[in-house]
Structure 1
Amino acid sequence: MSRTYSFTVPYSAPVTLLHRAYTDPEAWRARFAEAKSANYDLDHPDGEGSIRIHMSERVGGDAVPRVVRSVLGREFTLERTDTWNRLDGERATGSFTAATTGVRGELAGDYLLRPTAEGAVLEISGEAEFDVPMVGGALERMVEQLHQRVVQNEREFFATWLAEHPEG
C-alpha cells in the first residue's frame, strides 16, 4: 500500500531568485555546513541552471520515534536525491526520491516552483510506500510529516540565504 500527498510552501521571493538559490552549489554547501552526520554530492546533469543533490545522513538515538526504531533499529541511514531542472519561463520543476536502510520503502515525487502575487510557491506532490507489515502506514505518514519539516527548514534557510546573497 502507498500514500500520496501534496502540500505547498509559500515564498516572498520571485521564482528566478529562488531557482538561482536552489541550483547554487554554494548555497547547498552552506546548508550542510552544520550537519555533522550528513554527506552530499552535487552535480549539474543538464548544465548550468540545473542541479542534482544527493544527500545521505545517519539518523539515530532519540531523534527516531519508537515505532520506527522497532523496525529500523536505533540507527539508520536516510538517502535523498533532489533534482532541479533549468528555469522554464517563470516556472521551475524538479523531482525527489528518498529511501532508508533497513526497510524496503521509498519516497518519490515532483516539485513545481511557480510565481504568485506575493512571490512564489513551491508545490510538492509525492508518494510514500513502505513494505513493512503492521507499521508501513505509520511509516508512510511519518515520512510525509518529516518531508514537510525538511522543506520548511529549507524554506527558512533559502530565505536567509537570499537576504545575505542578493546578487547570487
Structure 2
Amino acid sequence: MPRSFDMATDYDGSVEHVHRAFGDERYWLARLADSGADETTLDALTVTGDGGIDVVTTQILRADRLPGLVSQFHRGDLRIRREERWQPIRDGLADGTVEGSIPGAPVSLSGTAKLATTDSGSRLTVHITVEVRVPLVGGKIESFIGRQLVDLLTAEQRFTSVWISDHA
C-alpha cells in the first residue's frame, strides 16, 4: 500500500530567487555534484517562454553503498531518475510536480510541490506518495524512502540557500 509524506522547508530567498535557480543549468550541475551520488547527469532542462521549468536528472548510487534493505531487492547500481515540472510564478506562488523512478525496481514516487511567499522569504511544501511493490516488506522500504526524502529535502534546501546567496 503506498505511503504519503508531507514535508516543508523554508528559504531566505524569495519565490522568484528560488524559481530562478531551478531554471539555471549552473545551479543543477552544482546541485547534482553536491548530491553525494556516485554519478549524476542533468538529462534535460527546459525553461518555457512563460517561465515554466522542466528538469530531468539521473543519479547513480553504486551497489556497494546501498543499505542492506535495498540491496536485498535490487541487484547492482541504483539509477534514480527524477523529473520536476514547475509552473510559472503566479501571484507569488509556483506549483510543481515531482516524479521519481528506479528503472528495473518496483518503486514509484510522485508528488506535488508548492513554492510560496512567506514573511521572511519563501516556503517549499511537498506532498509525496511512494509505492514499493514488494510483498510483505514494501511498507518498510516505503518508510525508509520517506526518511531519506526528508534528509534530501533538507540538504537541497541548504544547497539552494547558499546558491541563491552566492548568485542572487
- In the superposition, the TM-score normalised over structure 2's length comes to 0.89
Query: What whole-Å deviation, never above 9, does each CA across 1:21-72 have from its counterpart, x for those lacking one?
Result: 1222221122224555111223326335222111112212443110111001
Q: Considering only aligned residues, what root-mean-square deviation do their CA atoms show, in Å?
A: 1.8
Structure 1 residue aligned with 2:103: 101
Which letter does structure 2 place at the counterpart of 1:8? A
Which residue does the alignment assign to 1:142? Answer: 144
Q: CA deviation at 1:101?
A: 2.7
Q: Which residue of 1 aligns with 2:160?
A: 158
Q: d(CA) in 2 for partners of 1:71 and 1:129?
A: 14
Q: Which residue of 2 aligns with 1:66?
A: 68
Of residues 108-117 and 150-159 in structure 1, the stretch that sits farther from structure 2 once superposed is 150-159
How far did residue 13 of structure 1 move? 1.5
Q: Distance in 1 between matches of 2:165 and 2:48?
A: 27
Secondary structure of the residue aligned to 1:128 is strand
Choose 31-40 or 126-135, whichever is displaced more: 31-40
- Residue of structure 2 equivalent to 1:124: 126
- Equivalent pairs, count: 166
Matched to 1:143, the amino acid is I
Q: Which amino acid aligns with 2:68?
A: R
Runs of at least 5 residues in structure 1 that lack an aligned partner in the other structure: none
Q: CA deviation at 1:12?
A: 1.5
C-alpha distance 161-5 of structure 1, shift in aligned 2 (>3 A): same
- Is the partner of 1:44 in helix, strand or coil? strand
Aligned partner of 2:11 in structure 1 is 11
Deviates more, 1:73-82 or 1:132-141: 73-82
1:86 is aligned, of 88, 92, 116, to 88
Query: 1:69 and 1:33 mapped to 2: Cα distance?
Result: 24
